[in-house]
Structure 1
Amino acid sequence: MKAFLAAIALCVLAIGSEAKVSGSGTTTRYWDCCKPSCSWKENVATSTPVNSCSKDGTTKVDPSVTSGCDSDGTSYVCNNLQPWAVNDTLAYGYVAASFTGGVDNSKCCVCLKLTFTNALAGKTMIVQNVNTGGDLSSNHFDIQIPGGGVGIFTRGCSTQWNAPQSGWGQQYGGAFH
């Protein structure tokens, strides 16, 4: 729990100390069970990549272990990389993100403040970018939510949890409609 709170403090500190950049974007949801791209040492500017886990979703594995979305892989997203609400207007979570200009590994592990409009107006989410989101459009933030749809990577949840190939519910959009 202490490490968890420290990670939140670092994320909030990073948001407050970075140059202010704003704009509009798109949010969607996914949970493909794959090892996050920011779990590879090569993709992270810092010395600490995002944790990845064994098939049980909780036991941490070495960053060099291949993703469960590859035919010989045994590394998956950790179960604790899912969102949680602080109150009715603030939540924390994790995203796959694509920024203007496409995939940018230098954005691995950065924290972002998403301020929602439309149906979620008045709600804010502090997120950490744990995945590069190569299949996303520009300024697109795909929030990691269990049951949120496996997207293009249909192998992860089927090998980790014996889920149907298209995941739970719709492949794009998941169990929530």
Structure 2
Amino acid sequence: MVSFKQLTLLALTTGLATVDAQATGRTTRYWDCCKGSCGWSGKANVNQPVQSCDRNDNPLSNMGAKNGCENGGSAYMCTNQSPWAVDDRLAYGFAAVKLAGQSERSWCCACYELTFTSGPVSGKKMVVQATNTGGDLGQNHFDIAMPGGGVGIFNGCTSQWGAPSNGWGAQYGGISSRSECDSFPEKLKPGCYWRFDWFQNADNPNVSFREVSCPSELTDKTGCKRW
């Protein structure tokens, strides 16, 4: 059986990728260390919520554990929900999502193929799984999870990793140079370096996007599959 990755790579090399149900949107970046909104039961018709981890990055069996971004909370974003390069033109990762005219019930744990249409990554593709919902996001907005991308409204990185009070770098946007990744916790370094290597430090590029079947490489990390 041909895998999703093989089909995607074939489409990229032959130009045969379909554009059915394409829409346009925008991206930002974040890493707040918080338990994702899709980590709670009942958010969508899925086999289980998105996996959360304790402050030492161990997977939690208690899916109802309180968010680490709240006082007394113990559940955080797992570090394996960082982005990575499949090859020079394709990456996988995770995102907080908000889609026009839809609720999180329709996007939690769904996957989307993003084609970047601006900046240094124009033409590259990224497949993301929705693990979170951004209450402060605009319509058709993908807030891509990448370590060092800025904590935004909430900050669980200080309680989990001892990050500065506003997270690493600026609260919105995060760090500004690759060398700053060197001081990150070991498990967060690869995702931080990804931003400056594969992603070329792109600053909130625009995208066209479409929903796709989730590759197992993503669902194996979150444990979450839509029915």
TM bucket normalised to smaller: 0.7 to 0.9
TM-score (ref. length: structure 1): 0.85
Deviates more, 1:69-78 or 1:43-52: 43-52
CA RMSD between the two structures: 2.0
Q: Select the structure with the greater relative contact order (CA < 8 A; seq sep ≥ 6).
A: 2
1:140 aligns with 141
User: What residue identity is the alignment partner of 2:171?
Assistant: Q
- The number of residues matched between the two structures is 162
Contact 1:113 1:127 in 2 (8 A): yes
User: What residue identity is the alignment partner of 2:56?
Assistant: D
Q: Provide Cα deviations, 1:75-116, integer angstroms capped at 9, x if missing partner.
A: 000010000001110000000001103642331000000000
1:81 aligns with 81
Contact 1:103 1:134 in 2 (8 A): no
User: What residue identity is the alignment partner of 1:123?
Assistant: K
Choose 1 or 2 for highest CA Rg.
2
Structure 2, unaligned runs of 5 or more: 9-19, 178-227
Query: What is the percent sequence identity of the aligned residues?
Result: 49
Cα–Cα, structure 1 residues 131 and 39, in superposed 2: closer, same or farther, change >3 Å?
same
- How many Å separate the matches in 1 of 2:137 and 2:83? 20
Q: Quick check: 1:151 aligned with 2:156? A: no
Contact 2:100 2:140 in 1 (8 A): yes
Matches within 5 A, 1:122-137: 122-137=123-138
The CA deviation at 1:143 is 0.5
- Give the 3-state SS of the residue equivalent to 1:95 in structure 2: strand
- How many Å separate the matches in 1 of 2:72 and 2:103? 25
Contact 1:38 1:49 in 2 (8 A): yes
- How many Å separate the matches in 2 of 1:59 and 1:132? 21
Structure 1, unaligned runs of 5 or more: 1-5, 13-19
- Give the 3-state SS of the residue equivalent to 2:23 in structure 1: coil
- How many Å separate the matches in 1 of 2:69 and 2:44? 20
Runs of 4+ in 1 over 6 A off after TM superposition: none
